[in-house]
């Protein structure tokens, strides 16, 4: 089976995000005396591990987070004792432990929307011959929480847990479209600061997607994230108010043209989101 590779965030982006997040931690500590900085730093260490960087040593973690190495050593020792990290004596590096898996599994299990959406997503994936996914925002990325494959021989190498950019993907743009305007402006300002040289092109893509959402009820990404990938995204707000999610449907450009997204898959994805919302409301 031939695949298009997952070209989401470059390996060093996680480090940049962690440094910026920890700067925010310092600001939060001043504003909120209930904020536990040590806990936040421990969680940031766990976030440093990615599919591209599954094993990290203390020195690499210090470089990623900007924390002093003695602080890193204490935190990794504690996380290892608790089972959230495991340590390889041979490599001198850590990897995520089973306790992290248990937390992630519990979070996914509690998302009832996945059970309701899965059969409808699979039906669309089979029809469209491209994958259909459900995702949630994680800072400036989107994380897949459900993924239904298509029978096509050529597909995207993505699955539950995969991360894709917020700014350039159809799913990410759908999430941005559903956010309150003030929160969206804040995130876009943060993106502009992160990537000043690329920002005019990124901003133009987001603004076009917002217009498409107002007109059609869905957002598009046509070669914006990956030049060979086209997709459509639809935001979804669960009736219980548990947070904004988004559906997407897309794949290689030779299977999914812009016209097909506009006239066929986009409207079908909007219907899917409405049907999931109605099914959840009946529960």
Domains and CATH numbers, the chain: 3-97 (1.10.10.10), 111-282 (3.30.450.40)
Closest CA to 205 of 187, 186, 220, 189: 220
DSSP string, 91-135: TTEEEE-HHHHHHHHHHHHT-HHHHHHHHHHHHHHHHHTS-EEEE
CA-angle at 151, arms to 153 and 236, nearest 5°: 115
Distance (Å, whole) CA 156 – CA 141: 17
Q: What is the pLDDT of residue 155?
A: 67
Look up the pTM and report it: 0.76
Residue 203 token pair: 């901003």
Q: What is the pLDDT of residue 275?
A: 96
One digit per residue, pLDDT tens: the chain, 283 residues?
333 333 333 333 434 444 455 444 444 444 667 888 889 899 999 989 987 899 999 999 999 888 999 999 999 999 999 999 999 999 999 999 988 877 877 776 667 899 999 999 999 999 999 999 999 998 899 999 999 998 876 667 788 888 899 999 999 999 999 999 999 999 999 999 989 999 999 999 999 999 999 999 999 999 999 999 999 999 999 887 778 999 999 999 999 999 999 999 999 999 999 999 999 988 7
Structural contact between residues 216 and 266, judged by C-beta atoms closer than 8 angstroms: yes
Distance (Å, whole) CA 144 – CA 146: 6
CA-to-CA dists, residue 152 to 9, 156, 272, angstroms: 25, 10, 21
């Amino acid at each position: 089976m031939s695949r298009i590779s997952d070209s989401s965030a470059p390996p060093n982006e996680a480090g940049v995000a962690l440094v910026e997040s920890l700067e925010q931690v310092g600001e939060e500590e001043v504003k909120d005396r209930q904020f536990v900085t040590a806990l936040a730093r421990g969680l940031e260490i766990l976030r440093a591990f990615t599919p591209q960087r599954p094993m990290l040593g203390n020195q690499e973690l210090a470089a990623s987070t900007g924390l002093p190495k003695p602080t890193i050593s204490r935190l990794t020792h504690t996380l290892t004792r608790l089972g959230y990290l495991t340590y390889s004596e041979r490599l001198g590096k850590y990897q995520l432990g089973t306790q992290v898996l248990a937390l992630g599994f519990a979070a996914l299990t509690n998302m009832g929307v996945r059970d309701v959406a899965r059969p409808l997503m699979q039906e669309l994936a089979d029809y469209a011959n491209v994958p259909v996914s459900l995702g949630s925002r994680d800072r400036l990325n989107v994380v897949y929480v459900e993924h239904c494959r298509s029978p096509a021989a050529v597909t995207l190498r993505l699955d539950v847990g995969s991360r894709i950019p917020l700014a350039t993907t159809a799913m990410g743009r759908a999430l941005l479209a559903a956010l309150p305007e003030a929160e969206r402006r804040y995130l876009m300002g943060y993106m502009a600061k992160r990537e000043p040289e690329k920002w005019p092109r990124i901003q133009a893509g987001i603004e076009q997607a917002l217009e498409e959402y107002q007109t059609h009820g869905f957002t598009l990404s046509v070669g914006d994230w990956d030049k060979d990938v086209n997709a459509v995204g639809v935001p979804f707000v669960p009736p219980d108010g548990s947070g904004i999610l988004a559906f997407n449907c897309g794949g290689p450009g030779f299977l999914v043209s812009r016209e097909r997204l506009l006239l066929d898959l986009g409207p079908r994805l909007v219907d899917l989101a409405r049907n999931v919302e109605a099914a959840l409301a009946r529960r």
